[in-house]
Amino acid sequence: MIRETPFHPRTSAANETGLWSHWSGYLATDRYQMSDKFEYFAIRNAAAVIDTSPLYKYRIAGRDAERFLAGVLARDIRKCRPGQAHYTVWCDDDGWVVEDGVILRHSDDEFLLTAAEPNLAYLRDLLGRLEVTIDDVSDDYGALALQGPHSREILRQLSPEMEGIGYFHLTPAKIGQAAVTISRTGYTGDLGYEIWVGRDDALSVWDALLEVAAPYGTIPAGQTALLITRIEAGLVLIDVDFYSARYAWNDEQRTTPIELGLGWMLRDLESDGRPFIGRKAIEREMKHGTSRWRTVGITVDWEDWNRVYGERGLIPPKDHTPEHGGMMIYDDNVERIGYTPSFVYSPMMQRHIGIARVRPEHAAPGSEVGLELTIDHRYDMVKAQVTRLPFYNPPRKTS
Amino acid sequence: MPEKKKYDAIVIGGGHNGLVNGAYLAKAGLKVLILERRHLVGGAAITEELYPGFSFTTFSYALSLLRPEIIHELELTKHGFMPILMPSTFAPTEDGDYLILGQDKNENHHEIARHSPRDADAYDAYAHMMEQVVHAIRPLMDSIPPDITSKEPEERARMAAIGSYLADLPPGVLHDMIRLMTGSAADILEDYFESDIMQGLHASSGIIGTKVGPRSQGSGLVLLYHSFGEHDGAYGAWAFHKGGNGGFTQVLARAAQALGAEIRLESPVDHVVTKNGRATGVALTDGSEIEAKTVVSAVDPRRTFMELVDPRELPTDLVDNIRRFKFQGTSAKVNFALDANPTYPGLEGRSDQYRGFINMGPSLDYLERAFDDAKYGWYSQKPYIDGCIQSNVDPDMAPPGKAVMSCFIQYAPYHLRESDWDSERDRFGDVVQRTLEGFFPGFSDLVLHREVVTPLDIERVVGLSEGNIFAGEFLAPQMFFFRPAPGWNQYRTPIEGYYQCGSGTHPGGCVMGAPGRFASQQILTDLASKKK
């Protein structure tokens, strides 16, 4: 049976389209109204609420929790203090990315790890003799993201506790009578928060939040709006931009953190002396420079885009619906040098943009590449430029 | 004494075209000074906080025709460019019904079918016809028209090329283009639609800004012009810029400054200084002079030719053509700060219908009757209103829970019979408010502040002659190679070094920027050829 998130009575009332998609076994809304682009602009110009409850959530607790996670996660969890959160990845022995997720550190010995895929057995099998418990609490909590420039102004009226929390920090708080955790995290690349609330209090939190937020133009936003913003923010998505090493069939499908553009997580690798899964392989990759890819942005040349469509007598499309596929990227000699798994017309950038994977020698920002399009069932090539990620990075995100 | 600082080019007027022009000239390496009479740039595209917490788009209020090239070439997204989609159009009828068009094609089909099943089908055909005509005419609009008075082989060849281009169009498209360019909006719309609301809604685009009724020949051209824009590739779609159109011109100003242009506010220009038939700079009203070899007028043709320079220095036929150039502004604005969104009977508790235009022009008869008043020198007693409660799209325009509403009003002819606008301003505001009350019972109780902008105010504040919002009527003899006058449609003037770049030049008005951009191209071409 497909499940309903704790917010379902409200999301289903708000969903005017009758359309649902499935996300980790739960009903998720693609768009609440006929215009997903209007929801997108709510995120960028006002605020939007996004039900992110379907993520898997694991409570990792106990005396050895930090030690355990320090050995599992590629990013050093010891640097994540109580009241902070980390975006992190975990790898296999060969240094391939298994998955990514956000981990919240509630206290010295209690963490909440989110993941897109089930990881309970995988994590438990790594416990050994450590004094740690890992529980799947996915169903116990609802997660509601409030994202957008007005999010802070709205939330502070409900929970003065959150007033000063910094980027990737969190705090226990109350919304009405409900005890919640508010973290300054999100998947939009904007100022935003996520509210973690016990299942039974989910509806009261939704109601209290929307009552305060609606006059600020806040509306619920669906998956499509979220997925546009995450491309603009240069945030990768599992099963689109990379695949879990656990289920990949060959190395072509596998990726290292460095290839995925997450090398910054390993910045202190030399000094931290910490053993973790995949460390040796990652060190080898660094030492020998064996990374096969760089994850970069690409921006399509607007004049050339108009040209290729204009030559076919077509109105050049500017579609904000994300395309998850694999458009090929070529160099001057029509050698294939990469592909773009995520592609969209960005209303904020007014350009067609993509998260791309290219060979390291073509990864310098400004490098000219060719992007293969299919127009009227025929291949065509449009000029594009390698661009630094993220495309969109407003100062308010971290200020 | 001229001030010491030397500029390559001075742009007179910091409206959107002046800013675009100045930005392009600066981008090309010229030292540019943009002179604005008022305390803020934007011309007729400004946003002002006229009531605490409420941002009013006093004049221009929505964005569609802006040329996408300008967004890219001037890198406007770096400076805050943000066109927010208006996802719906709401058209109330006089009997309490309504038509709401949104982003879903099939939902629109069902909604139109409530009024006429035939119109529901015809809507797609109409939209496709308009798209095809717009697509066909774009290359002509997106280039500098040839000079039809010229005997130069190059200009003659360009004329011939336009002939061939038109001849190569599919015959149906060319025929529809001529229908639109010469006929009335009603003629076209009656070919497709039978319901009053579909006819009225679409005919409204055929009268905006122009002293024509929906049944007047020439309203088709206005309808076509308003369909010429786009929002992210969707032809004919409109957006609302973050912070209103004043937000947009602030973006333009930042882009121009980033490219090196200098903007000087509260610097009204008295006249262009000429010497031996060429421009050498400008004189401000305070008597000071600033030198530049290139002077560009971003103001309307009457001011460009009759006020900023001495008409006696100009050829008689040009002076005569400018004298006969029709302004006859006929539009007004009434803007409101509201305590909340108004309520439409039957849609209580809803506000999603207010996320785009609210078109109060429910039939051809309604619009034509509104025009009847104007024909005889009076303002409409039941005017056409294009409302827009922008705070529903950009919540920052009003305090939380409150609303700011822009109302474009027609008809309000500049020349009133036996009265004047200073005497009629409040009574006119009352007529508009009464009309709104008719559509939204209880509207007046919501009003916190009202701003009435008559054509006379537009002329006084913005400087647009007779308050014409397009800097000159959209009439066939004032368009394309006739805008603003035959022989002077390529942004030059008879005075060497003196150029024009306002909406009174090709392609015309609306927040389009094309005149400013084309003028910069002409200027740079002329400067380059002089160097050779």
How many CA atoms within 13 Å lie on the side-chain side of B7? 29
Q: Phi and psi at residue A23, in whole multiples of 5°?
A: -135, 110
Pick A315's closest partner by Cβ from B77, B235, B394.
B235
Per DSSP, what are the bridge partners of residue B357? B388
Is B352 close to A33, i.e. CB distance below 8 A? yes
> How large is the greatest C-alpha to C-alpha distance in chain A, in angstroms?
68
Is B85 close to A41, i.e. CB distance below 8 A? yes
CA distance A356 to chain B (A): 22
Q: Phi and psi at residue B407, in whole multiples of 5°?
A: -125, 115
- Helices and strands (H, E) in chain A, number of each type: 10, 19
Q: Which of B396, B397, B404 to mutate to test the interface with A (most CBs of A within 10 A)?
A: B396
Chain B residue with minimum CA distance to A345 = B232
CA distance B233 to chain A (A): 5
Block residue for tokens 């006969």: B324
Sequence-separated (6 or more) residues with CB below 8 Å from residue A121: none
Tokens of B362: 């429910």
Question: Of all helices (H) and strands (E), which one includes residue B190?
Answer: helix B185-192
Q: What pLDDT score does B202 carry?
A: 98
Chain B residue with minimum CA distance to A212 = B400
- Of B38, B28, B84, B21, nearest to B502 (Cα)? B21
Q: What is the DSSP letter of B485?
A: S
ipTM reported for the complex, 2 dp: 0.95
Distance in angstroms (rounded) separating the CA atoms of residues B496 and B479: 24
Q: What pLDDT score does B2 carry?
A: 64
Task: Find chain B residues with C-beta within 8 A of A350's C-beta.
Answer: 68, 71-72, 76-77, 81, 232
Give the strand pairing for A178-183 and A192-198. Answer: antiparallel
Distance in angstroms (rounded) separating the CA atoms of residues B367 and B207: 9
Task: Find chain A residues with C-beta within 8 A of B392's C-beta.
Answer: 217
Confidence of residue A326 (pLDDT cuts 50, 70, 90): confident
Distance in angstroms (rounded) separating the CA atoms of residues A233 and A217: 22
Chain B residue with minimum CA distance to A211 = B401
Q: Which of A16, A31, A35 to mutate to test the interface with B (most CBs of B within 10 A)?
A: A35
Q: DSSP for B92-148, please give it.
A: E-TTS-EEEE-S-HHHHHHHHHTT-HHHHHHHHHHHHHHHHHHHHHHHHHTSPPP-T
Q: What pLDDT score does B220 carry?
A: 97
Is A302 close to B395, i.e. CB distance below 8 A? no
Pick B395's closest partner by Cβ from A46, A318, A348.
A46
How many CA atoms within 13 Å lie on the side-chain side of B441? 7
Print burial letters for B330-357: b (CB count within 10 Å at least 16), e (below 16): bbbbbbbbbeebbbbeeeeeebbbbbbb
Q: Note down pLDDT in tens along chain B; length 532 residues.
A: 667 678 999 999 999 999 999 999 999 999 999 999 999 999 999 999 999 999 999 999 999 999 999 999 999 999 999 999 999 999 999 999 999 999 999 999 999 999 999 999 999 999 999 999 999 999 999 999 999 999 999 999 999 999 999 999 998 999 999 999 999 999 999 999 999 999 999 999 999 999 999 999 999 999 999 999 999 999 989 999 999 999 999 999 999 999 999 999 999 999 999 999 999 999 999 999 999 999 999 999 999 999 999 999 999 999 999 999 999 999 999 999 999 999 999 999 899 999 999 999 999 999 999 999 999 999 999 999 999 999 999 999 999 999 999 999 999 999 999 999 999 999 999 999 999 999 999 999 999 999 999 999 999 999 999 999 999 999 999 999 999 999 999 999 999 999 999 999 999 999 999 999 999 999 999 999 988 7
Residues of B with CB under 8 A from a CB of A: 68, 71-72, 76-77, 81-85, 87-88, 102-104, 107, 131, 135, 232-235, 242, 352, 355, 391-396, 400-401
Block residue for tokens 């009434």: B334
Cα radius of gyration rounded to whole Å, chain A: 21
Is A315 close to B131, i.e. CB distance below 8 A? yes
Q: What pLDDT score does B3 carry?
A: 72
Handedness of CA A48, A54, A55, A60 (dihedral sign): positive
CA distance B144 to chain A (A): 19
* Mean pLDDT on A68-92: 98
Chain A residue with minimum CA distance to B86 = A38
- Of A50, A100, A5, nearest to A224 (Cα)? A50
Is A38 close to B355, i.e. CB distance below 8 A? yes
Is A348 close to B82, i.e. CB distance below 8 A? yes
Q: Which of A41, A44, A302, A308 to mutate to test the interface with B (most CBs of B within 10 A)?
A: A41
Sequence-separated (6 or more) residues with CB below 8 Å from residue A128: none
Do B37 and B286 meet the contact criterion of CB atoms below 8 Å apart?
A: no
* Mean pLDDT on A367-376: 97
Task: Find chain B residues with C-beta within 8 A of A345's C-beta.
Answer: 232-233
CB atoms within 10 A of CB A305: 21
Per DSSP, what are the bridge partners of residue B274? B279
Sequence-separated (6 or more) residues with CB below 8 Å from residue B133: B173, B176, B177, B180, B224, B227
Distance in angstroms (rounded) separating the CA atoms of residues A336 and A331: 7
Cα radius of gyration rounded to whole Å, chain B: 23
Residues of A with CB under 8 A from a CB of B: 33-35, 37-38, 41, 44-46, 150, 215-217, 302-303, 315-320, 345, 347-351
Please confirm whether the linkage preceding B484 is cis (ω < 30° from 0). yes
Distance in angstroms (rounded) separating the CA atoms of residues B278 and B505: 21
Q: What is the DSSP letter of B393?
A: T
Distance in angstroms (rounded) separating the CA atoms of residues A228 and B230: 21
Distance in angstroms (rounded) separating the CA atoms of residues A188 and A49: 11
Do A285 and A305 meet the contact criterion of CB atoms below 8 Å apart?
A: no
Task: Find chain B residues with C-beta within 8 A of A320's C-beta.
Answer: 232
Is A45 close to B395, i.e. CB distance below 8 A? yes
Chain B residue with minimum CA distance to A317 = B233
- Of B28, B16, B21, B33, nearest to B293 (Cα)? B33
Sequence-separated (6 or more) residues with CB below 8 Å from residue A382: A300, A301, A304, A305, A307, A308, A370, A371, A373
Is B83 close to A347, i.e. CB distance below 8 A? yes
Distance in angstroms (rounded) separating the CA atoms of residues A246 and A248: 6
Pick B233's closest partner by Cβ from A33, A318, A348.
A318
Is B82 close to A45, i.e. CB distance below 8 A? yes
Is B71 close to A45, i.e. CB distance below 8 A? no
Q: What is the DSSP letter of B480?
A: G
Q: DSSP for B192-248, please give it.
A: H--SHHHHHHHHGGGTTTSS--TTSTTHHHHHHHHTS-EETTEET--EEETTHHHHH
Q: In Å, how far are A49, A166, B295, B354, B394 from B84, measured between CA atoms?
A: 19, 29, 35, 14, 8
Per DSSP, what are the bridge partners of residue B440? none
CA distance A190 to chain B (A): 15
Is A45 close to B392, i.e. CB distance below 8 A? no
Do A290 and A336 meet the contact criterion of CB atoms below 8 Å apart?
A: no
Query: Is residue B384 classed exposed, middle or buried when 0-12, 13-18 and 19+ CB atoms within 10 A define those classes?
Result: buried
Task: Find chain A residues with C-beta within 8 A of B68's C-beta.
Answer: 302, 350
- Checking if the pLDDT of A370 tops 90, the result is yes
Is A317 close to B233, i.e. CB distance below 8 A? yes
Is A347 close to B232, i.e. CB distance below 8 A? yes
Q: Which of B106, B352, B391 to mutate to test the interface with A (most CBs of A within 10 A)?
A: B352
Block residue for tokens 């429910």: B362
Block residue for tokens 């020949």: B217
Give the strand pairing for A192-198 and A141-147. Answer: antiparallel
Q: What pLDDT score does A290 carry?
A: 97
The model's pTM is 0.96
Chain B residue with minimum CA distance to A302 = B72
Q: What pLDDT score does A357 carry?
A: 97
Chain A residue with minimum CA distance to B68 = A350
Tokens of B481: 């190679």
Chain A residue with minimum CA distance to B132 = A315
Is A217 close to B392, i.e. CB distance below 8 A? yes
- Checking if the pLDDT of A392 tops 80, the result is yes
Chain B residue with minimum CA distance to A213 = B400
Q: Phi and psi at residue B317, in whole multiples of 5°?
A: -65, -35
Distance from chain centroid for Cα A51: 14
How many residues in total does chain B contain? 532
Q: What pLDDT score does B1 carry?
A: 60
